[in-house]
Amino acid sequence: MDSAVDGVTDPRSKRDLEEGIQRDFTRKMSYGDYLRLDTLLSAQQPLSDPPQHDELLFIIQHQTSELWLKLLIHELRSARTLLMSDDLGPALKRLARVKHIQHTLTDQWSVLATLTPSEYAEIRPFLAASSGFQSAQYREVEFLLGNKNADMVAVFSHDEGARIALDALLREPSLYDEFLAYLGRRGYAVPAEVLDRDWSQPYRLSEGLVDVFADVYARPNEHWGVYETCEELVDVEDNFQQWRFRHLQVVQRTIGQKTGTGGSTGVDFLRRALDLTFFPELYEVRTRVGA
């Protein structure tokens, strides 16, 4: 159907601006000003020569991931601080948001998966030695969740700000450490060696703590806040593992068994990460439930 008949415009084909809508931003802050879009949208600088169509996809995929990681760090730090002050409810709200961010990060891999091996081969030489392995924010997330590795700090010796931030997180309690401290303050029999340890060292499973969680899972209605927090943490780890696995799949379909641009073994290196766990007792206790 034509939108205009005998010079009359169909009202469904046009929406007039309302009188109150702002039009002049010479002296007012606009949407673009607030979000600093001039800076944000000028940060995509492909290096391929001659230019390759798919490099913009590769850049935007990783830049948006870094933005979500920034928010993830913000929420995890806040949840940790709230646990330190025994504010469990708001901490759980932060973790709920963390889980949504994780889903978004995982779903993004589907966009990058549209990049075929032939297309990626055209842009790979221009990446040089750069690799997602070198994401300081990703390491901050892992440190906040408890996967501490002092060797990773040295990778960022070229970036003083990143090195200082990671070194600080290495020596601070993780989110899980603060949850266990919260349990200790609430009268749960958390083993002393779990509460008083070297935070820079990787966390190790405590059988005594499994006993504590076994009691929580045996009587969830009596420990509902703690029980809920345990399950929220398991959700966070499960989401993280899904992100790791999706990453592995996309790398495998794109480069096969090639060495990664950063020097790792690629797929094999990523596969070994699937064996890592942040909250070992929360998985170990599942063997006890109903046994």
pLDDT tens, residue by residue, 191-229: 999 999 999 999 999 999 999 999 999 999 999 999 999
Is 60 annotated as a binding-site member? yes
Max alpha carbon distance in the chain (Å)? 86
Class of residue 272 by CB neighbours under 10 A (exposed 0-12, middle 13-18, buried 19+): exposed
Query: Is the residue at 145 inside a domain?
Result: yes
Looking at 61-75, 140-154, 246-260, which range is the least confident one?
A: 246-260
Q: What is the pTM of this model?
A: 0.91
Structural contact between residues 82 and 91, judged by C-beta atoms closer than 8 angstroms: yes
Query: Is the residue at 147 inside a domain?
Result: yes
Is 73 annotated as a binding-site member? no
Q: What is the rounded CA–CA span in Å between residue 136 and residue 159?
A: 9
- pLDDT digits over 83-107, tens only? 999 999 999 999 999 999 999 999 9
Q: What is the rounded CA–CA span in Å between residue 57 and residue 63?
A: 10
Domain carrying residue 195: 52-255+263-288
Is 58 annotated as a binding-site member? yes
Q: What is the rounded CA–CA span in Å between residue 73 and residue 136?
A: 11
Nearest to 92 by CA among 213, 221, 232, 239: 232
Query: Is the residue at 118 inside a domain?
Result: yes
Instruction: Say how many domains are in the chain.
Output: 1
Query: Is the residue at 218 inside a domain?
Result: yes
Please state, as a whole number, how many other Cβ atoms lie within 10 Å of the Cβ of residue 157: 9
Please state the separation of Cα 77 from the chain's center in Å: 12
Mean pLDDT value of segment 283-287:
96
Query: Is the residue at 112 inside a domain?
Result: yes
CATH number of the CATH domain containing 173: 1.20.58.480
- pLDDT digits over 42-70, tens only? 999 999 999 999 999 999 999 999 999 99
Query: Is the residue at 20 inside a domain?
Result: no
The predicted pLDDT at position 2 comes to 54
- Whether the per-residue pLDDT at 259 is higher than 90: the answer is no
Q: What is the rounded CA–CA span in Å between residue 93 and residue 97?
A: 7
Q: What is the rounded CA–CA span in Å between residue 165 and residue 237?
A: 23
Q: Confidence class of residue 3 from pLDDT cuts 50, 70 and 90?
A: low
Q: Confidence class of residue 16 from pLDDT cuts 50, 70 and 90?
A: confident
Is 103 annotated as a binding-site member? no
Is 261 annotated as a binding-site member? yes
Percent of the chain with pLDDT over 90: 76
The predicted pLDDT at position 255 comes to 81
Query: Is the residue at 158 inside a domain?
Result: yes
Mean pLDDT value of segment 140-144:
97
Is 100 annotated as a binding-site member? no
Q: What is the rounded CA–CA span in Å between residue 279 and residue 176?
A: 7
Task: Give the tokens for residue 175.
Answer: 């989110």
Query: Is the residue at 34 inside a domain?
Result: no
Is 287 annotated as a binding-site member? no
The predicted pLDDT at position 7 comes to 63
Stated as kind and residue range, the H or E segment containing 118 is: helix 117-123
Residue with tokens 């939108």: 3
